[in-house]
Structure formats: C-alpha cells, structure tokens
Structure 1
Amino acid sequence: MSKPLPARLLHVTIERSIGDVYRFAANPENMPKWASGLSKGMRLIDGKWFADTPEGKLEVRFTPFNDFGVLDHEVVLASGVSVFIPMRVVANGNGCELTFTLFRQPGMSDEKFNEDTAWVTRDLEALKTLLEA
C-alpha cells in the first residue's frame, strides 16, 4: 500500500446558487471556459471525453451527474497514469463553496507543486468570475 500523497485543499466562495454552479461545472463542454489547461477544448469521441492540452490529447473521465455536488474527475496522462481530482460544491447560504483537492504527484518538485497550486487557484477564480458575472 502506498503512502498518502501530500495534498492542498483549494477553494472559492461563489455568489451563485449551488444548482447553477454544479450544472455549469459538471458540463465538460464548459471546462475550457475556466480551466486554462483545457482552453483548446473538450471533445466527446465514442462516448469518451478528450481534452486538447499542452501535453496533447488526454482522456478525462467524469463522475456521473449526481445530487451531492460531487464533481470528481480523472485525467489519464499520455503515460497511462491517471490523476484523480476530487472536487465538490456545497451550499453556503444563497451561494456556495467550491473545493478542489490538489494532490502532489510522486516525484513532483516543490516548485512544480507551487506552480500547480497557483494555476488551479487562478482557474477557480476564473470560474468564480464567470459565474458571478
């Protein structure tokens, strides 16, 4: 059994209903609007989602639509390694909290982990800005 990976919980408060945020964020076609690593687009091919990324075309697997605010997804790297990305949206008054768990991948330097943290934080802020407009 492997050791737990170091993790950071990143979150934003969004002044929009949980339903609005969940429906938008759960739609893979909306990801390029706020997730900058996927800005080249998402395509559905033979029932699977693929993202055009700086690393090439990568498969992205999504948790089925649900009533619990679970937005987990998994990115399958070109190497075949899967990176699990837990993501949740929970109600907070008339708005909501969106939480993203960023795992430090094996062999990742401190510098790269900090860069990824900053990148995801910018993306979450972009989602907040988009949904609050």
Structure 2
Amino acid sequence: MRSRSLPSSLVDACPCGRSAAYADCCGRYHTGPLALQAPDPESLMRSRYSAFVKDLRPYLLATWHPSTRPADIEPPEPGLQWLGLDVRRAVQLDADHGVVEFVARSKLGGRAHRLHEISTFVREDGRWLYVRAAD
C-alpha cells in the first residue's frame, strides 16, 4: 500500500512568517472546517497576507467587513513577489475589537515596496473581519 503525501503547497512553510506548514497555519482558515474562522485579529491579518501571496481574492473579500469592502479586488500585477510580513503589534481591545500593526514587503519590477499599516478588526457573529486601515 502506498502512502499518500500532501501536495507541496500544503506542507510548505506558511507565507505569514509563523513557523508552521501552510496547511496547519493560514491554510486552515482559507479552506476546510475552519474556513473563515480565524480566532483573533492577528491570525486573521496573517491569513489575509497569505491570501494576498496566494491570490485568494474570494477569501480576502469574505473576511472584509461589508461596510468597507470593495466590490472586487484587482488581480496582482504580473511579477509581483511578496517578500514577508512583520507583525509589529497585535492588540485585542475588547471581546469584539482589535488592532494589528504590520509591515508587508513586496517587490515589483525590481523595486522593493513596504506597506506599513495599522489595521482595525471587528468580530461579528463570531467571525473576525478586517475593517480598514486606522487613520
């Protein structure tokens, strides 16, 4: 009997920077029984970063609060490379509100880019949702 191995995309390191395989980290929030069920704002932020890396636009829209969610998300520019995520601060303000400060690094056309954002999150109906970048 042959053993079945997981696809390499599931055993590869998670793009979010945690020391876990994608399937055991952000992948479990992208698909399967825990889909859309990140347990806290930081986990949701990391899963959204991983979704950008893997171009999972439906997941990004599903985890975006309806009050600020765009109608769609443009596909990534050809050649865009995500280089890493640094979560600087993650604070759960109360049972249903949180803030995550992060820096996401990318490269496009030979130029490095940094997105430094302080994001706000809210929990509604038991699910954490990205609201917007703080002012």
TM-score by length of 2: 0.33
Report the TM-score when normalising by structure 1: 0.34
If asked which structure has higher relative contact order (CA below 8 Å, sep 6+), I would say: 1
Tell me which protein shows more helix as a share of its residues: 1
